Structure 1
Amino acid sequence: MKEFLKNLGPGILVSAAFIGPGTVTVCSIAGVEFGYNLLWVLLISVIGCMLLQEMSARLGLISGTGLSENIKSQLANPILRNIALLLVFSAIVIGNAAYEAGNISGAALGLQGIFADVSLKLGNLKINLWSCLIGGLAFILLFLGSYKQLEKVFIGLVLLMSLSFLITAILTKPDLRLIFKGLIPSNVDAGLLSIIALVGTTVVPYNLFLHASLVSEKWKGAGKLGIVRKELIFSIGLGGLVSMAILICAAASGIQNIENAGDLAAGLEPLFGEAATVFLALGLLAAGITSSITAPLAAAYVVRGCLGWKPARNDWKFRMVWMSIVLLGIIFSSVGFKPVEVIQFAQVANGMVLPVVAIFLFWIVNRAAVMGEYRNGFILNLFGILVIGLAFFLGIKSIYNVLSNF
């Protein structure tokens, strides 16, 4: 067990990245609106996520570099290379800057659920001090923490998050028969937008870049592939279990209307007591903190790979990227500003970049020049094509959903 815990790291960060406040909200809404009937979507999403992340982790281990570096080196055509890198740069960097405010706000909402709203009024401007605290904590951990220290922090936060949501789900005393029934695919037509949201919040484009870079830093050599895969399956499987626990909480709550995770926390207390609310708030706090750290970190890795900077985390150019994203998140979150247009751009860009990145990843892990004997086999390619097809569908739908609102 001690040896296994020592090898936890990259997969835990990936799991922490996709279980953010957005995931908590999406799973809560799905549970309230459709009960346990969409649990099967999360199950399929987690399997698809494992497949893509395994390819990303294997690429990082065998090539010794991140995904953006491989895209840059393997695309010989300069026009195609620059278009690909620009698209990746726009989607990941601007997208993560937009979503950082949501991550910090989610963690602040968790603190408000345990304590109270703490704000400072400056004229007509109301500043949420919890958002400043969370953003400051993310900044300090990224600035002072070495890779090993960050790993330990994330392992602790993910375990806190997992226990909090799982205990909350148990406190709601869900119907086990309905849970098992919900794991069987059904209701494909009902709740199509919810299905898209559940898959989209699990299969995250920036995690493909983050995972490859983290694995290339932690391990060297193909001999570690078995460890990489075990750690990945455990970490993402745990993340999927947490997502299901959140959906189960919402489904068992009996709440009729919900718009965000705060509504779920407020609705649980009169039904299941203060303990359920506290555990949910702790889980939301941990989810927000972890995502508020991983989003800026992933953006910095992408920029480093696109621009060819030296692979050093204490390099000031690398630090300036994540610092900018954390700072924007603090500002947007603390003043309650909702950058709707920026987030809509991020949704369109991510909808475009997910299938593109999945195709580039699929292409690179099939290249003998990069992967040698560790390139994809027939079974992995078959499932990879299915996942990419799903990514295309999700991308087109997310773009259509945003554009139809204009």
Structure 2
Amino acid sequence: METNLTPSSAPDRPASPWLEKLGPGVITGAADDDPSGIATYSQAGAAFGYNILWTVLLTYPLMVAIQIISARIGRVSGHGLATNIRHHYPVSLLYGAVVLLLVANTINIAADLTAMGAAVNLVAGGPTRIYTIGLAVFSLGLQVFVPYKSYVRVLKWLTLALFAYVGVVFAVKIPWMTVAARTVFPHPSWSSVYLTTVVAVFGTTISPYLFFWQASQEVEELQAAHGQRPLRTAPRQAVANLRRIGSDTRVGMAFSNLIAFFIILTTAATLHAHNVTDIQTSSQAASALKPIAGQFAFLLFSLGIIGTGLLALPVLAGSAAYAMAGAFRWKNSLELAPRLAKRFYGIIVLATLVGLALGFTSIDPIKALFWSAVINGVTSVPIMVLTMKMASHADVMGKFTIPGSLRAVGWLATVVMGVAVTAMFVLLVIH
């Protein structure tokens, strides 16, 4: 029997410990619960209590499907979403999408950095702006100067910050029977404010930057692993890798939605129950928790904002950089030295520094986040349509086009997002 296999024909890798298989999916899911997302979930829980929890259950299967599909495109083709779109569709479509993505991500970075600086101030006191600058510089240093193989370990550890929100739930009194009843049988108000909140939760949970990030991270993992090749050219590697993508993404998105559920639950059981219904930022939610739920809950909530921000910043800046690099054919990889991918790292630096600067202007962060959500909504639906078409096309996927069940849920997610975006614009017109 031949034992010297060429890299392109290498068989499936030996089974590794379960936790080692978790990577892009878990990081992507955890990054979805960034400080801006925490603010959205806090607003939802404070305003509508347990009657908004059902949204998190609905988004889970939709989020899993579109993220698995994005990851498959990266692993099968060996290219990120932007490169694949450029190869198979008019570049004008791609250029418009990536510019909108860069704008939306930069606004999100601004909001996240501001929230992180405010959270450090809540916990330790002192100059909020200095904290914000320090966190931006620290995050940039990790992204630019730490190679991918080491950096991805940092990101995996940062996902543990989200367990702070699990701890908060157990630090407050929860009427679990009422929670279960309202989650399955909610009492929605169907007012314009309620519908806007539902749209915001959907837009926060299913965002275009997550599609670009996870597909590109699969390419990074592929390049970092010895003997691995795109599945189109190495079909013997398909079984293990597609199984890993499925389990990794399901766990990651479950993690993301569970934390979102706990944030809504915490603010519903504390703030909403005490008629504190107007929450604008994540740090405001943390402050409001202190007199109601106590010092421990306040600390956990605040520290969670800082940890999740450190996880989300590289995903926001990195996904924009991957998209721009794919659109304009730049070298791109977090494993490359900065001098070998200057324009790729330039976008990461630019998005972070512009986001930092925006936080020091008179721009209303709440309005900025609102328009960021609008831009994300505008961008997400066409990107999801193109992603679904690519994943179903043999020119991109070879014999690894997505199966019928995954295709059905992926298109359902696309339709749901389309309805959510349409509802958002109808509400804008009404108001």
1:17 aligns with 2:31: yes
Tell me the distance in 1 between the aligned counterparts of 2:122 and 2:367. Answer: 29
Q: Which residue of 2 aligns with 1:195?
A: 198
Tell me the distance in 2 between the aligned counterparts of 1:397 and 1:226. Answer: 36
Q: Which residue of 1 aligns with 2:17?
A: 3
Q: CA deviation at 1:348?
A: 3.7
Tell me the distance in 1 between the aligned counterparts of 2:168 and 2:374. Answer: 34
**Maintained 8 Å contact 2:45/2:264:** yes
Distance change in 2, residues 1:373/1:96 (3 Å): same
Distance change in 2, residues 1:293/1:373 (3 Å): same
Tell me the distance in 1 between the aligned counterparts of 2:303 and 2:97. Answer: 33
Q: Which residue of 2 aligns with 1:385?
A: 411
**Maintained 8 Å contact 1:13/1:154:** yes
SS state of the match for residue 373, structure 1? coil
Q: Which residue of 1 aligns with 2:144?
A: 143
Q: Which residue of 2 aligns with 1:177?
A: 177
Tell me the distance in 2 between the aligned counterparts of 1:345 and 1:283. Answer: 25
Q: Which residue of 2 aligns with 1:186?
A: 186
Q: Which residue of 2 aligns with 1:229?
A: 246
1:63 aligns with 2:64: no
SS state of the match for residue 402, structure 2? coil
1:193 maps to amino acid:
T
Q: Which residue of 2 aligns with 1:154?
A: 155
Distance change in 2, residues 1:348/1:269 (3 Å): closer
Structure 2: runs of 5+ lacking an equivalent: 1-14, 223-228, 232-237
Tell me the distance in 2 between the aligned counterparts of 1:58 and 1:166. Answer: 31
Q: CA deviation at 1:349?
A: 3.0
Distance change in 2, residues 1:339/1:176 (3 Å): closer
Q: CA deviation at 1:145?
A: 1.7
Tell me the distance in 2 between the aligned counterparts of 1:145 and 1:366. Answer: 36
1:84 aligns with 2:87: no
- What pairs with 1:233-382 in structure 2 (closer than 5 Å)? 233-253=250-270, 254-257=273-276, 258-313=279-334, 314=337, 315-334=341-360, 337-338=363-364, 346-382=372-408
- Aligned identity (percent) is 22
2:30 maps to amino acid:
A
Distance change in 2, residues 1:262/1:256 (3 Å): farther
The CA deviation string for residues 256-299 of structure 1, in whole angstroms up to 9 with x for no partner, is 23222223212222222211110011111112221222111000
Structure 1: runs of 5+ lacking an equivalent: 76-80, 120-127
**Maintained 8 Å contact 1:32/1:251:** yes
2:96 maps to amino acid:
L
2:221 maps to amino acid:
K
Q: Which residue of 2 aligns with 1:214?
A: 217
Tell me the distance in 1 between the aligned counterparts of 2:427 and 2:132. Answer: 29
Tell me the distance in 2 between the aligned counterparts of 1:303 and 1:402. Answer: 30
Tell me the distance in 1 between the aligned counterparts of 2:426 and 2:318. Answer: 29
SS state of the match for residue 359, structure 2? helix
Q: Which residue of 1 aligns with 2:208?
A: 205
SS state of the match for residue 374, structure 1? coil
Alignment TM-score, normalising by the size of structure 1? 0.90
2:415 maps to amino acid:
G
Tell me the distance in 2 between the aligned counterparts of 1:324 and 1:293. Answer: 12
1:10 maps to amino acid:
P
Alignment TM-score, normalising by the size of structure 2? 0.85
Tell me the distance in 2 between the aligned counterparts of 1:234 and 1:21. Answer: 21
Aligned residues: 391
**Maintained 8 Å contact 2:119/2:305:** yes
Q: CA deviation at 1:117?
A: 3.8
Q: CA deviation at 1:16?
A: 2.9
SS state of the match for residue 383, structure 1? helix
The CA deviation string for residues 37-72 of structure 1, in whole angstroms up to 9 with x for no partner, is 111101111221111001001111111110111111
SS state of the match for residue 174, structure 1? coil
| Greater alpha carbon shift after TM alignment, 355-364 vs 325-334 | 325-334
**Maintained 8 Å contact 2:388/2:410:** yes
**Maintained 8 Å contact 2:55/2:198:** yes
Q: Which residue of 2 aligns with 1:124?
A: none
Tell me the distance in 1 between the aligned counterparts of 2:123 and 2:322. Answer: 34
2:282 maps to amino acid:
A
Q: CA deviation at 1:25?
A: 1.1
Tell me the distance in 1 between the aligned counterparts of 2:58 and 2:66. Answer: 13
| Greater alpha carbon shift after TM alignment, 374-383 vs 98-107 | 374-383
Tell me the distance in 2 between the aligned counterparts of 1:272 and 1:303. Answer: 44
**Maintained 8 Å contact 1:28/1:246:** yes
| Greater alpha carbon shift after TM alignment, 188-197 vs 322-331 | 188-197
